[in-house]
């Protein structure tokens, strides 16, 4: 009896160790921009508990097929597997600071007003592979400096960015954040739709030729409308210190979201989705500058919402639409107009998210008349003064 208990204890300890190792491996994959969620973790645990775990080559192939959703994942997986399980080389990621999410490698784009020059530089992951232990444990100082700089940028209020190079890096990180956010949201949406139910009617008709025996089963899948994101960005003078970074974030959102629309407003409303869907950032900003005449002037939020409700809402809003309004809430119009239009908007869409950069300021309170009129109809009132606050939106959007 004592021997049997000892064997059971040893087995439990071994299982716990393997579970810990698997958890560390999946965490390493997430740090290297793999979209690994709860479902992938459960499937990987089942693979590790099966007979495949005793054959490294088969285990590698099984895990690779499970977690690789993109060609870039497929190309990176073998190096990470060898580094973690076989101790061959090293793989490390410099994540966007404190966002709690891994960011895939991005292009750094230098922007200077309407003119844009692109330059490629790694802000995402770094891979260091060596044959010697000394090289393996070495840390490139330049990359560590890059990590610290990215961390500072993610925590810095956009209005405090003055250096052109820092502004360009913030633009690139904002676009990168939008792409990675959409990638993870789409992965979660696919996981939600995996549930299946048997379709009895089609199964019976399909198996008439088999004498009624249900040899071939037909399945019914869930159908859901994809999340649609509508972004309304305040481009007035009071938001001028934030507008450029938000434009880059929205450009990344529209580049990745299949269901997304974007509008700018100041004294009037402008539909800018077509301009911001340009893959090239320089061309997108050129088209935007032609459309958004009057940027940097006053703000008429209520009148802009009225124009949206009258001319655009019916065509772009459905039952799973999230309205994201990015504004400081300073409206030169009357609060009654703001309240009426927000009420009408709340009836049409699923959620209204209001991002206010001033929430990140010390001692801020939403005392502006326009902001007070809008708040009763807002589902989420959140800050948007730095990259961390933008990254914090992802869990909320994932639950919609």
Instruction: Give the per-residue pLDDT at 7.
Output: 54
Give the model's confidence band at 341: pLDDT under 50 very low, under 70 low, under 90 confident, else very high: very high
* Other beta carbons within 10 Å of 313: 18
Do 63 and 211 reside in the same domain of the chain? no
Contact 368, 374 (CB under 8 A): no
Instruction: Give the per-residue pLDDT at 351.
Output: 92
Query: What are 356's strand-pairing partners?
Result: 383
pLDDT at 373 over 90: yes
What whole-number distance in Å separates Cα of residue 349 and Cα of residue 109? 34
Does residue 342 sit within a domain? Answer: yes
Do 21 and 65 reside in the same domain of the chain? yes
Do 82 and 64 reside in the same domain of the chain? yes
Which pTM was predicted?
A: 0.58
- The better pLDDT of the pair 37, 147 is held by 37
pLDDT tens string 273-329: 988 888 777 777 777 876 777 666 778 999 999 999 999 999 999 888 999 999 999
Instruction: Give the per-residue pLDDT at 195.
Output: 52
Instruction: Give the per-residue pLDDT at 2.
Output: 52
Give the model's confidence band at 233: pLDDT under 50 very low, under 70 low, under 90 confident, else very high: very high
Instruction: Give the per-residue pLDDT at 112.
Output: 35
Do 239 and 337 reside in the same domain of the chain? yes
Does residue 317 sit within a domain? Answer: yes
Report the number of secondary-structure helices (H) and strands (E) in the chain: 17, 12
Does residue 38 sit within a domain? Answer: yes
Q: How far is CA 292 from CA 202, 288, 357, in A?
A: 54, 6, 21
Q: What is the domain count for the chain?
A: 3
Instruction: Give the per-residue pLDDT at 10.
Output: 59
What average pLDDT does range 76-97 have in this prediction? Answer: 66
Does residue 105 sit within a domain? Answer: no
Query: Which of 31-40, 192-201, 233-242 has the lowest average pLDDT?
Result: 192-201
Contact 250, 231 (CB under 8 A): yes
Percentage of residues in the chain having pLDDT higher than 90: 21
- How is residue 124 annotated by DSSP? S
Nearest to 305 by CA among 253, 340, 354, 355: 340
Do 233 and 370 reside in the same domain of the chain? yes
pLDDT at 93 over 80: no
Do 218 and 331 reside in the same domain of the chain? no
- Boundary-marking domain end, from 88, 114, 134: 88
Do 200 and 276 reside in the same domain of the chain? no
Does residue 173 sit within a domain? Answer: no
Query: Which of 39-53, 172-186, 224-238 has the lowest average pLDDT?
Result: 172-186
Query: Which of 3-12, 247-256, 276-285 has the lowest average pLDDT?
Result: 3-12
Does residue 300 sit within a domain? Answer: yes
**Residues of the domain holding 217:** 196-223
Do 244 and 372 reside in the same domain of the chain? yes
Do 234 and 380 reside in the same domain of the chain? yes
Does residue 234 sit within a domain? Answer: yes
What whole-number distance in Å separates Cα of residue 396 and Cα of residue 311? 28
Contact 291, 272 (CB under 8 A): yes
Backbone angles phi, psi at 107, to 5 degrees: -95, 135
Do 204 and 293 reside in the same domain of the chain? no
pLDDT tens string 105-151: 333 333 333 333 333 333 233 323 333 444 444 444 444 455 566 67
Do 391 and 267 reside in the same domain of the chain? yes
Do 269 and 330 reside in the same domain of the chain? yes
Instruction: Give the per-residue pLDDT at 95.
Output: 41
Give the model's confidence band at 97: pLDDT under 50 very low, under 70 low, under 90 confident, else very high: very low
């Amino acid at each position: 009896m004592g021997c049997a208990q000892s064997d059971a204890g040893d087995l439990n300890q071994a299982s716990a160790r393997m579970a810990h190792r698997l958890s560390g491996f999946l965490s390493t994959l997430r740090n290297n921009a793999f979209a690994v969620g709860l479902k992938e973790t459960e499937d990987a645990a089942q693979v590790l508990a099966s007979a495949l775990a005793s054959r490294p080559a088969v285990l590698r192939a099984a895990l690779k097929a499970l977690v690789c959703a993109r060609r870039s994942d497929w190309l990176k997986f073998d190096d990470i597997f060898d580094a973690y399980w076989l101790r061959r080389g090293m793989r490390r990621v410099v994540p966007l600071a404190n966002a709690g999410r891994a960011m895939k490698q991005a292009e750094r784009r230098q922007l200077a007003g309407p003119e844009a020059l692109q330059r490629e530089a790694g802000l995402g992951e770094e891979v260091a592979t060596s044959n010697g232990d000394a090289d393996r444990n070495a840390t490139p100082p330049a990359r560590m400096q890059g990590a610290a700089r990215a961390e500072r940028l993610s925590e810095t209020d956009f209005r405090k960015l003055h250096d052109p190079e820092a502004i360009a890096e913030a633009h690139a990180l904002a676009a990168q954040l939008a792409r990675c956010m959409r990638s993870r949201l789409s992965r979660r949406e696919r996981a939600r739709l995996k549930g299946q139910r048997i379709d009895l009617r089609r199964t019976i008709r399909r198996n008439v030729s088999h004498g009624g025996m249900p040899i071939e089963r037909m399945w019914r899948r869930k159908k859901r409308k994809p999340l649609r994101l509508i972004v309304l960005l305040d481009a007035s003078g009071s938001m001028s210190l934030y507008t450029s970074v938000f434009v880059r974030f929205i450009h990344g959102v529209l580049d990745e979201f299949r269901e997304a629309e974007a509008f700018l407003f100041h004294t009037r409303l402008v539909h800018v989705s077509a301009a911001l869907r340009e893959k090239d950032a320089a061309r997108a900003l050129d088209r935007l500058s032609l459309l958004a005449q009057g940027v940097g002037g006053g703000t008429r939020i209520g009148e802009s919402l009225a124009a949206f409700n009258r001319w655009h809402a019916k065509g772009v809003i459905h039952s799973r639409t999230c309205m994201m309004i990015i504004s400081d809430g300073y409206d030169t119009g009357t609060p009654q107009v703001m309240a009426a239009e927000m009420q009408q908007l709340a009836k049409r869409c699923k959620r209204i998210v209001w991002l206010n950069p001033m929430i990140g300021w010390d001692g801020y309170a939403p005392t502006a008349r326009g902001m007070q009129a809008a708040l009763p109809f807002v589902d989420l009132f959140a800050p948007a003064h730095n990259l961390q606050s933008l990254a914090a939106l992802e869990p909320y959007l994932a639950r919609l």
